[in-house]
Amino acid sequence: MQPIIVAVAFVLLITACSPAAVQALPMVEKQEFVTHNFTTFGGEVIPEVRVGWEAYGELNDAKDNVILVTHFFSGNSHAAGRYSEDDAQPGYWDAIIGPGKAIDTNIYYVISVDTLVNQEPYNPNVITTGPSTINPETGAPYGLDFPVVTIRDFVNVQKTVLESLGIERLHAVIGASMGSLQALDWAAAYPDQVDRMISVIGMGAADPWTIATLQQWANPIIHDPNWNQGNYYDGEPPLAGMQQTLGMITLTAMHPLIINQLYADSSPREAAPLQDIRNNFSVVERLQDAARVRATYADANHILYLVRANQLFMAGYQDDLATGLQDVQARSLFIPASNDLLLQPYLAKQAHNTLIELGKDSQYVELEGPWGHLDGVFEISQKADLIKEFLNN
């Protein structure tokens, strides 16, 4: 396994050995949804919103077999399946989504939607609307004229997509990391439309530590002179800053256990770094290479907007989390990762405890693994049986 691949692999999942993937090879295609005059949580109007979406399985006649999968910061709606038979990697949660799998596409209609301000507007498999989109009023990219958006806005775009399909109720909503924020906010915002909610490596609200840590991700872009207050679309983009940011995201999302395993041949006794402080250790070089790859399809402003959406998060968007969650009707399941150093388990525990104190039905169980935050993607199979049972009950 090449570390460079693993380090960029937020959207990749190693399922080459999965019998279902080999046998069934379910195909999927990105579809486009367009809506107009979308009003944001902050009260601004976006004249036109375009987002991509994917679906797996069949929508039944009652339209009551729908599971919405909400994606993480660096991901998109490609949650499962392959785009073609020679597609090297399936969607990120292919291990649990597919025929006969935990999220069984023989039973459920599984749908996922690219978020607004998606990290990768230049990824041919992503359709999103954000600061890099052409502002119809000016004919140029919005830049910072694009309104600040929130997790609630991602939810509301998804709701509009679902309504266009005649779907009024979710059998379940499930997401990892930033996806878990959307899942929980769905249950808080539209309590009578959500029957089950699964939060993987998630939180109920951004606490001061998380807000401050996410700001570290924004800093390299903001301080790159090429960022130019977000106006770089007709010049040089802030590539150096964006690469630093993406490198930091990778590192924050991974526990020392996996970094030390993947880069075991890097040593404090390397010769070059002792010669000149500008020489890098091999682990640093290789993480920088991975960050360069991750930057290929990314947009710096989009990353800043995603950071902000996460910082602004409090499920239900009331004065406090308990008030925000008071109307939840969904049965809830929280699956944080024990070794997560980013959205540490105490955050999921806090949301779970808040629901319990409100008399709601909530379960809490931790993933184990060496990846840290990324255990929510790479080790999700550990909880496949639990997820299956939770969904089918």
Q: Residues in the site for its own copies, rule: CB under 8 A?
A: 41-42, 144, 148, 150, 205-213, 215-216, 218-220, 222-225, 229, 240-241, 244, 247-248, 251, 256, 259-260, 262-264, 266-269, 273-278, 280-281, 283-284, 287, 304-305, 308, 311-314, 317, 319, 341, 344, 346
Which structure tokens are listed for 134? 């052409």
Strand ranges for the chain from DSSP E:
31-39, 45-56, 66-70, 97-98, 103-104, 109-113, 134-135, 140-141, 172-176, 196-200, 331-335, 362-364
Active site residue 340: yes
User: 65-96 burial, b if ≥16 CB within 10 A, otherwise e?
Assistant: bbbbbbbbbbbbbbbbbbbeeeeebbbbbbbb
Judged by CB, which is closer to its own copies: 28, or 283?
A: 283
Rounded distance between C-alpha atoms, residue 176 and residue 71, angstroms? 6
| Dihedral over Cα of 75, 77, 81, 85: its sign | negative
Which residue is catalytic, options 74, 180, 373, 375?
373
User: 207-232 burial, b if ≥16 CB within 10 A, otherwise e?
Assistant: eeebbebbeebbebbeebeebeebeb
DSSP string, 286-350: HHHHHHHHHTTT--HHHHHHHHHHHHT-BTT-SSSHHHHHTT--SEEEEE-BTT-SSS-HHHHHH
CB of 304 to its own copies, least distance (A): 5
CB of 196 to its own copies, least distance (A): 25
Which residue is catalytic, options 340, 352, 362, 375?
340
CB of 143 to its own copies, least distance (A): 11
Rounded distance between C-alpha atoms, residue 175 and residue 63, angstroms? 21
Judged by CB, which is closer to its own copies: 149, or 172?
A: 149
The letter for the amino acid at 225 is: P
Which residue is catalytic, options 112, 177, 199, 362?
177
CB of 48 to its own copies, least distance (A): 21
Judged by CB, which is closer to its own copies: 150, or 158?
A: 150
Judged by CB, which is closer to its own copies: 48, or 207?
A: 207
The letter for the amino acid at 353 is: N
CB of 284 to its own copies, least distance (A): 5
Active site residue 177: yes
CB of 170 to its own copies, least distance (A): 24
Judged by CB, which is closer to its own copies: 137, or 276?
A: 276
Judged by CB, which is closer to its own copies: 7, or 377?
A: 7
Judged by CB, which is closer to its own copies: 16, or 274?
A: 274
119 Cβ neighbours under 8 A, 6+ residues apart: 73, 74, 298, 299, 302, 303, 306
Rounded distance between C-alpha atoms, residue 184 and residue 206, angstroms? 13
Rounded distance between C-alpha atoms, residue 8 and residue 20, angstroms? 25
Rounded distance between C-alpha atoms, residue 301 and residue 224, angstroms? 12
Judged by CB, which is closer to its own copies: 72, or 142?
A: 142
CB of 103 to its own copies, least distance (A): 30
238 Cβ neighbours under 8 A, 6+ residues apart: 221, 224, 225, 226, 227, 228, 232, 300
Residues with active-site annotation: 177, 340, 373
